Amino acid sequence: MANNIQLPRGTYDVLPEQSAKWQEVEQKINELCRLYQYKEIRTPIFEHTELFQRGVGDTTDIVQKEMYTFQDRGDRSLTLRPEGTASVVRAYVENKLFGLPDQPVKLSYMGPMFRYERPQAGRTRQFVQFGVEAIGSKDPAIDAEVISLAMEVYRSVGLKQLRLVINSLGDTESRISHKEALIKHFEPRIDEFCGDCQSRLTKNPLRILDCKVDRNHELMATAPSLADYLNDESRVYFDGVKSYLEALGIDYVVDPNLVRGLDYYNHTAFEIMSDAEGFGAITTLCGGGRYNGLVEDLGGPESPGIGFAMSIERLLLALEMEGVEIGQASDLEVYVVAMDESTKNKAFTVVRDLRMNGISADMDFNGRKVKAQMKSADRKKSAYVIVIGETELESGKVALKSMATGEQQELEFEELAQAILENR
């Protein structure tokens, strides 16, 4: 036998048992997007590398260490998308969605993202993000709406142990004065920090606070807090977001040290964490925030935006940790047993007729004995079984047997579908 080829590191297969869970999550998400009126946008899986350099930011881990970048045969530098916001904003600008009469434009997306990271539970190299962006409004109510949609996703699948953490990163003015204070704070002892932090010091010192290597350095705890540098406008905005969250009855904690990894955030930043026991180091389920300069940076008119992204993988992990089961229900309604080859043809058409009536149906394709077919019906948790033999062919009647109660109904073949639909 040839050598087995295994899947690439950091990727995984979703087998049917697991994909039932995925589908249930996707359905819940689609329904919530409909209720909240976030319309789906689908952008390419790869983009020009420059989009992410500009849209995600040159100083981020994503751009510096995690991108799958390649030259195509036409010598263009392309990158598998590591996140969704940059692409959505590019599409918003490129398709002039800023010209639509109804702003904000509320968009949602779901699809695979790619980051070259060290794989561990909840961290893979290909993962699926669901995210939304509301572009074209700087009303604190839209921030609260976006946050509440994220919370609702988790609630709708049955998660309970959630913690919403919010912060304000302020506007440009607030951030400039905070940045100066940060440089003053870290500069004298910057040689005690990692190489990344040393280069962050001048480019984007805020990101030092987000460093995973130096998180325990004593200067971290004493670093100047953004909260003390918010100007009046930023403070009023943040108060607005908080009061709308309170109006919706959504609990939150303010963490002045919450800074998101991406460069383009300002004002509202938030994360949703799981407090479920058993989680390792990774407890963040969802991250999001406001980006008022991004549309302009990508060549559009000034259009403030806010969004979040969450991976379905971490949501499923949280379900496991909380012991919540989803995607369990069997969806097979009828298993049709053929007694022998001579009745298989009839069984085959009965299966087709049931399906035409919107009823899920299945049968044996391995020439197995009746007993083995019955076992299959049992394993597949079929709601009903019918057995077709010579007698049934001659009489034109068949017994519809409920697997749950053992009850049987004598029916003409033509009545089967109707009876099943009525019993539903």
Question: In whole angstroms, what is the distance from residue 293 CA to residue 264 CA?
Answer: 7
282 forms part of the interface with ligand ATP (CB under 6 A): yes
Residue type (1 letter), 10: G
**Which window, 17-25, 85-93, 236-244, 279-287, contacts ligand ATP (CB under 6 A)?**
279-287
Q: Give min distance, CB of 34 to ligand ATP, in A.
A: 23
Start-to-end C-alpha separation, the chain: 49
Selected from 309, 316, 318, 386, the binder of ligand ATP by CB under 6 A is 309
Beta-strand relationship, 46-48 and 77-80: antiparallel
Question: In whole angstroms, what is the distance from residue 335 CA to residue 318 CA?
Answer: 35
Minimum CB distance to ligand ATP smaller for 186 or for 270: 270
Minimum CB distance to ligand ATP smaller for 18 or for 357: 18
Selected from 43, 85, 129, 373, the binder of ligand ATP by CB under 6 A is 129
198 forms part of the interface with ligand ATP (CB under 6 A): no
Selected from 84, 170, 205, 287, the binder of ligand ATP by CB under 6 A is 287
Q: Give min distance, CB of 127 to ligand ATP, in A.
A: 4
Q: Give min distance, CB of 286 to ligand ATP, in A.
A: 5
Query: Which residues from 256-275 bind ligand ATP, rule CB under 6 A?
Result: 261
Alpha carbon 253 to its chain centroid, in Å, reads 23
Question: In whole angstroms, what is the distance from residue 309 CA to residue 128 CA?
Answer: 10
- Alpha-carbon torsion (318, 13, 52, 85), positive or negative: negative
**Which window, 114-122, 141-149, 225-233, 339-347, contacts ligand ATP (CB under 6 A)?**
114-122
**Beta carbons within 8 Å of 363's beta carbon, 6+ residues apart:** 335, 336, 337, 338, 347, 348, 351, 373
Q: Give min distance, CB of 399 to ligand ATP, in A.
A: 50
83 forms part of the interface with ligand ATP (CB under 6 A): yes
314 forms part of the interface with ligand ATP (CB under 6 A): yes
* DSSP per-residue codes, 32-54: HHHHHT-EE----SEEEHHHHHH
**Which window, 153-161, 196-204, 237-245, 283-291, contacts ligand ATP (CB under 6 A)?**
283-291
Residue type (1 letter), 44: P
Six-digit token string for 125:
């190299």
Beta-strand relationship, 126-135 and 105-114: antiparallel
Cβ pair 307, 320 in contact under 8 A? no
Q: Give min distance, CB of 284 to ligand ATP, in A.
A: 5
Total site size for ligand ATP, rule CB under 6 A: 19
Q: Give min distance, CB of 212 to ligand ATP, in A.
A: 8
Minimum CB distance to ligand ATP smaller for 178 or for 314: 314
Minimum CB distance to ligand ATP smaller for 120 or for 357: 120
Selected from 124, 204, 266, 303, the binder of ligand ATP by CB under 6 A is 124
Q: Give min distance, CB of 153 to ligand ATP, in A.
A: 11
* DSSP per-residue codes, 147-212: HHHHHHHHHHTT---EEEEEEE---HHHHHHHHHHHHHHHGGGGGGS-HHHHHHHHH-GGGGGG-S
- Alpha-carbon torsion (206, 207, 212, 217), positive or negative: negative
Q: Give min distance, CB of 122 to ligand ATP, in A.
A: 6
115 forms part of the interface with ligand ATP (CB under 6 A): yes
Beta-strand relationship, 397-402 and 384-388: antiparallel
Closest-by-Cβ residue to ligand ATP is 311
Selected from 143, 313, 333, 364, the binder of ligand ATP by CB under 6 A is 313
Selected from 107, 209, 310, 420, the binder of ligand ATP by CB under 6 A is 310
Residue type (1 letter), 321: M
Q: Give min distance, CB of 66 to ligand ATP, in A.
A: 8
Minimum CB distance to ligand ATP smaller for 59 or for 124: 124
Cβ pair 109, 42 in contact under 8 A? yes
SS (H, E, C) 355-422: HHCCCCEEECCCCCCHHHHHHHHHHCCCCEEEEECHHHHHHCEEEEEECCCCCEEEEEHHHHHHHHHH
Minimum CB distance to ligand ATP smaller for 286 or for 338: 286
285 forms part of the interface with ligand ATP (CB under 6 A): yes
**Which window, 11-19, 46-54, 169-177, 282-290, contacts ligand ATP (CB under 6 A)?**
282-290
Question: In whole angstroms, what is the distance from residue 222 CA to residue 299 CA?
Answer: 38
Question: In whole angstroms, what is the distance from residue 176 CA to residue 226 CA?
Answer: 10
Q: What is the contact surface with ligand ATP in residues (CB under 6 A)?
A: 83, 115, 117, 122-124, 127, 129, 261, 282, 284-287, 309-311, 313-314
